[in-house]
Structure 1
Amino acid sequence: MNSDNRHTSVKENEARLAGLYEEYYDRIAHYVYVRIGNRAEAEDIAGEVFLKALKSLKSYRDKGIPMQGWLFRIAHNLVVDYLRRMTKRKTVPIDSLALPDADDPVDQAERNMEMARVTEAMKQLTEEQREVINLRFFGGLTSKEAGEVLRKSDGAVREMQRAAIEKLRGIMGAEC
């Protein structure tokens, strides 16, 4: 590949990354927030995802992994690093898992209570099951994309998701 083609490819990837930032920043920030429970830290980490991606853009090769999966893989790795640092400190900051402001405070309170129940129930899942649920439902990835992030097959992700949902139904149903 000559220098002109390589330069064009980098420019095309930069343009793609800018578009992906617009499209995926909120999803990545939400995915990180669900994992770490601190909105400010989640936004910082989400920004770091795109900085790392920009720095690594020259070495990015589309090996069957779309940029979206690559970005979530970076987010996953940064979350793991963050949680390791917090574990070493023996403290993990936890915000309430409030959804965006509602017009009705009663609705907001009910959503907060339901989210707290789901959060508690998810603690009973394995780490892999929690990660699959987070990527699929909070990150909005397909099972194939989640598999690329977790380095698992599409079928393995679907099976972990099925088992996790079944377990959550049992836990949540028992609490009613």
Structure 2
Amino acid sequence: MNDVELVAQLQRFEPEAVDVLMSRFADRLYNYAYYHSSDHHLAEDIVSETLTRIVEKIGDYQQREVPFKAWVFRIARNLLADHYRHRSRHPSVSLEAASDESSSLYETLSSDYGGADGGELATQVAQREDLRQALNLLPEDQRTVFILRFIEGNDLEQVVTILNKSIASIKSLQFRATRNLRQILDDNNCGKKRRVGYE
């Protein structure tokens, strides 16, 4: 079932379409929320609320305006933004326990907007707590682009649509995210603990 068929079935309130929606997006939404928040419970809440809102608002959705996948992630992104608006500050996670060997993953990073190496980095994120923590220290816009681009596997045009930014802006954020992840891990290996500054 493609997205057009899924939307049509959801709009007809067919129960099996909800099962397809959950199987297609629940894990991806969880990963997206978890890598933003480092909070399992919050990630589960975001998944639940996102899926609920999709079902509630599917009657108003029109495929020609925004691709369905982009619309789904926009809902999740807005829910996360609402959550952080109600918090006094973002949590700061120490990299003190990060592995000394982690910097070797970044030795071959190029200046090609981080595109060539970001995907390789992302394949390590799921298994490596130090990289997850490093992602948590990135400025939100860089973290969002990195997660959408390399963890969720969206291409540049999809990220542009989800975030409603120019392709030049997405490339710049992608490059800075990759560079700053390397800097965080290099600093940790040198015994430094500092937060990457906003650019």
TM-score (norm 1): 0.69
Alpha-carbon distance change, 11 to 78 in structure 1, aligned in 2, over 3 angstroms: same
| Counterpart residue number, 2:195 | none
- Is contact 1:73–1:150 with CA below 8 Å preserved after alignment? yes
Correspondence 1:147 to 2:148? no
Could you tell me which amino acid in structure 2 is paired with residue 19 of structure 1? V
| 2:59 is the alignment partner of 1:45 | no
Out of 142, 146, 157, which is 2:170 matched to? 157
Q: Is the 8 A contact 1:14 1:57 kept in 2?
A: no
Partner of 2:183: 170
The answer to which structure has the higher helix fraction is 1
Q: Supply the distance in 1 between the matched residues of 2:20 and 2:126 (Cα, whole angstroms).
A: 33
Cα pair 1:73 1:149 within 8 Å, conserved:
yes
Q: CA deviation at 1:127?
A: 2.2
2:86 aligned with 1:85: yes
More divergent stretch after superposition (24-33 vs 35-44):
35-44
Answer whether contact 1:121 1:171 (CA < 8 A) is retained.
Answer: no
TM-score by length of 2: 0.62
Distance 2:14 2:62 in 1: 10
Matched residues in 2 for 1:8 and 1:38: separation? 33
Map Cα deviations across residues 37-95 of structure 1 (whole Å, 9 max, x no partner): 211221121011011011111110113521111110000000111122233xx686x8x
Distance in structure 2 (CA, Å) of the matches to 1:49 and 1:67: 13
| DSSP-derived class of the 1:62 partner | coil
RMSD: 3.3
Separation (CA, whole Å) in 2 of partners of 1:72 and 1:171: 27
Question: For 2:181, what is the secondary structure of its paired residue?
Answer: helix
**Partners in 1 of 2:141 and 2:28 — Cα distance?**
20
Structure 2 vs 1, CA of residues 27 and 9 (structure 1 numbering), >3 Å: closer, same or farther? closer
Give unmatched runs, 5+ long, in structure 2: 1-7, 94-124, 190-199
Cα 1:113–1:149 shift into 2, 3 Å = closer
CA distance in structure 2 between the aligned counterparts of 1:81 and 1:112, rounded to whole angstroms: 26
AA aligned opposite 1:29: Y
1:150 is aligned with what amino acid?
Answer: L
Letter in 2 for 1:167: N
Is 2:160–2:167's contact at 8 Å kept on the other side of the alignment?
Answer: yes
Tell me the equivalent position of 2:68. Answer: 67
The answer on 1:119 being equivalent to 2:120 is no
Unaligned 5+ segments in structure 1 are 1-6, 95-110
SS in 1 for 2:87: helix
Letter in 1 for 2:133: T
Superposition deviation, residue 166 in structure 1: 1.9
TM-superposed CA distance for 1:167, in Å, is 2.5
Shift of 1:147: 1.7
Provide closer, same or farther for how the CA distance between residues 69 and 18 of structure 1 changes in structure 2, counting only shifts above 3 A: farther
Residue 65 of structure 1 aligns to a residue whose secondary structure is coil
